Structure 1
Amino acid sequence: MPEETQLVPEEVSAPVEPGVSRLEEEGDIAADYLEELLDIADIDGDIDIEVRNGRTYISIVADEESDSLQSLVGQDGEVLDALQELTRLSVLSATESRSRLVLDISGYRGRRNEELAKIAQDAADLVSGGQESVALDPMGAYERKIVHDAIAELGLESESEGEGTRRHIVVSAAH
């Protein structure tokens, strides 16, 4: 009689190997998720993982600038933000802990950060030139954080006002 083989189901969340940090594990899970997504969508791209300042940064890049990667950024980064949230949910489901990972595609976040720094500088110039306050266009939480930090570095004050998609920053002189 042949010997019976008992099948043991895989664990949903594999234990972390010694020496592998939580952020590295988070990066690996996110990269696997994104790789599968790229395969399903038949989009070419390389995934880079970097851990710095207590966060996991994941970049998807292509050898040549690809329209398909640009479609993953979307208008004003809306698709990119949605993919970042889905990737965070994938990490949450595998590790049972929330992730603060940042996803970038084709350097969009870096270019956008430069634009946000310019927006902050322009608002600061108006306030320094005598305007009482400057209300900026609505933006998401991630972008508001970048602008708040830039305004603070310039020695001015900023606060978020409004609700939902109308939430925006108002810049004023420090009191």
Structure 2
Amino acid sequence: MTDTSTPSAEHSTEEETAPATAAESAGTEETKKSETVTSDSDLFRQSEIAADYVEGLLDILDYDGDIDELVSAGRPMVEVVGGRLQPLVGQRGATLEALQELTRLAIFRATGSPSRLLLDIGGYRATRRKELTAVARNAVEKVKEHGDAVRLEPMSAFERKCVHDVVNAISGVQSESEGVEPSRRIVVRPAD
């Protein structure tokens, strides 16, 4: 049987812990820049694959919509805009989340790599982000006023991230997720 464990810190060699020279640091920076360029092109490729997949779905379902593919905040994105798209969003974005997962699977099938693609239809995510900002601020106000933790309703990963971002930007409070999907929720409490 082969040992595949990684060596512990006490077994590290001097080479691994020695500080990098200026030449090594410069080489590392160049490598990071080239990886970033490659990464950005990979992300754009993912958004292109996703756009083609979503366009095929729209054709099958006989829906009209304009598709924009982009990379934003280090993440591939596809936005579908047009009228009569609400059925593709579904109640509280449930259908949108399912379509996003299918689109991520299409990207994985084409590239062999998992994707963090964000799919938006009819501007739903931007609208929901505004609503969640209000929910998060309301929860923060309650926590600051009463000093008790506030448990929010179960949310999708996208929704939880939106709330965490708002809460983390406010001093005196903190947030954490608890529970298991699909009942995973955020708890906002006073900061330790």
TM range, smaller chain: 0.7 to 0.9
Q: Distance in 1 between matches of 2:90 and 2:118?
A: 16
Which of these residues, 38, 56, 64, is aligned with residue 58 of structure 2?
A: 38
Match of 1:167 in 2: 184
Gaps (5+ residues) in structure 2? 1-37
The CA deviation at 1:39 is: 0.5
1:25 aligns with 2:60: no
Which of these residues, 64, 67, 71, is aligned with residue 47 of structure 1?
A: 67
Match of 2:33 in 1: none
1:83 aligns with 2:99: yes
* Amino acid of the structure 1 residue aligned with 2:190: A
More helix by share: 2
CA distances 1:113-146 after superposition (whole Å, capped 9, x unpaired): 0011000000000011123110100111121111
Q: Distance in 2 between matches of 1:84 and 1:29?
A: 13
1:152 aligns with 2:129: no
Match of 2:15 in 1: none
1:59 aligns with 2:75: no
User: Aligned pair count?
Assistant: 153
* Amino acid of the structure 2 residue aligned with 1:152: N
Q: Distance in 1 between matches of 2:124 and 2:55?
A: 19
Matches within 5 A, 1:68-79: 69-79=85-95
Higher relative contact order (CA 8 A, sep 6+): 1
Match of 2:9 in 1: none
1:164 is paired with a residue of what secondary structure? coil
Q: TM-score, normalised by structure 2?
A: 0.77
Q: Distance in 1 between matches of 2:126 and 2:180?
A: 26
Q: Distance in 2 between matches of 1:28 and 1:167?
A: 31
The CA deviation at 1:164 is: 2.1
Match of 2:13 in 1: none
Coordinate RMSD, CA, aligned: 1.3
CA distances 1:25-81 after superposition (whole Å, capped 9, x unpaired): 11111111111111111110110011121111110011xx32xx1100000000000
